[in-house]
Amino acid sequence: MENIVEFKDVHKSYGKKEVLNGINVSIPKGKIVGLLGPNGNGKSTMIKLINGLLNPTKGEITINGMKPSKETKKIVSYLPEKTYLNDWMKVKDIIEFFKDFYEDFDVNRANEMIKNLKIDVNEKLKTMSKGTKEKVQLILVMSRKASIYILDEPIGGVDPAARSYILKTILTNFSEDSTLLIATHLISEIENICDEVIFISNGDIILKGDVESIREERGKSIDTIFREEFRC
Ligand SMILES: Nc1ncnc2c1ncn2[C@@H]1O[C@H](COP(=O)(O)OP(=O)(O)OP(=O)(O)O)[C@@H](O)[C@H]1O
């Protein structure tokens, strides 16, 4: 199976603190992959490394065979944990901004989702609730025709009804030759859309595999396995 992202012996330290301890993992093309782990275990660090926002202390990361660079940014659609958008912008201005900035941005797809979620295009991000802001950002990211979508905690602030709509929308828009990597704590919500899961614990990958096979082998849901593995 072809892989879109590969981590080869990737270490990452912040000062003296090592937070990734030599990660070897690959993300296959065409799959929806859940990156799961408790707070502070290295999920965002892995995602920032893929996006070239951080450099590994040791080891190598490739996306479609290329190191993270300007070229790889063209094929990666990334939803960061914290917004980088200007608060004073209206939804319609942000859509224009994305249209100008990304060649692969599908305005019609964005407008349709905005309409279905009853978001006012004249509202500024500044005055929106946390959940609505999250919805807007997710819509923008999912409206690109990218090779890989990377979502860092995308639906934490969104109410359950909108969550189902959003997950459904992700699936509807998802083309079979693209890949989705989703880091989240909301495992029960996403386990039914994931093909594969990766568990990260203290900077090590402790479980990786096909969701169906893991469930069958252990006779438990991914959510239950997670709760057992990371019991406080
Ligand atoms: N800029 C930084 N400087 C120092 N330490 C950092 C920095 N960023 C992250 N860390 C530390 O690295 C570890 C991993 O953090 P990371 O954000 O990757 O975890 P996470 O699994 O994404 O957590 P969460 O689920 O809470 O977002 C944590 O102990 C965190 O405190």
Given a cut of 90, whether residue 215 has pLDDT beyond it is yes
Letter for the amino acid at 51? N
Is-above-0.90 flag for pTM? yes
Given a cut of 80, whether residue 36 has pLDDT beyond it is yes
Going along the chain from its start, the domains and CATH numbers come out as: 3-229 (3.40.50.300)
How confident is the model at residue 85, as a pLDDT?
A: 83
Q: Could you tell me the distance, in angstroms and rounded to a whole number, from the CA of residue 35 to the centre of ligand 1? A: 14
Q: Could you tell me the distance, in angstroms and rounded to a whole number, from the CA of residue 117 to the centre of ligand 1? A: 32
Taking the CB of residue 225, how many other CB atoms lie within 10 A of it?
19
Q: Could you tell me the distance, in angstroms and rounded to a whole number, from the CA of residue 155 to the centre of ligand 1? A: 19
Which atom, in ligand 1's list, is nearest to the CA of 81? 27
Which atom, in ligand 1's list, is nearest to the CA of 41? 21
Q: Pocket residues for ligand 1 (CB within 6 Å)?
A: 14, 19, 37, 39-45, 81
**Measured between alpha carbons, how far is 156 from 82 in angstroms, rounded to an integer?**
12
Closest CA to 81 of 47, 131, 127, 128: 47
Which atom, in ligand 1's list, is nearest to the CA of 45? 18
Computed over every residue of the chain, the mean pLDDT equals: 92
Q: Is residue 123 within 8 Å of 89, Cβ to Cβ?
A: no
How confident is the model at residue 144, as a pLDDT?
A: 93
User: CA-CA distances (angstroms) from residue 189 to 90, 116, 154, 221?
Assistant: 30, 21, 12, 12
The pLDDT confidence band at residue 115, using thresholds 50, 70 and 90, is very high
**Measured between alpha carbons, how far is 201 from 43 in angstroms, rounded to an integer?**
9
Given a cut of 90, whether residue 174 has pLDDT beyond it is no
- Atom 15 (ligand 1) nearest CA: 40
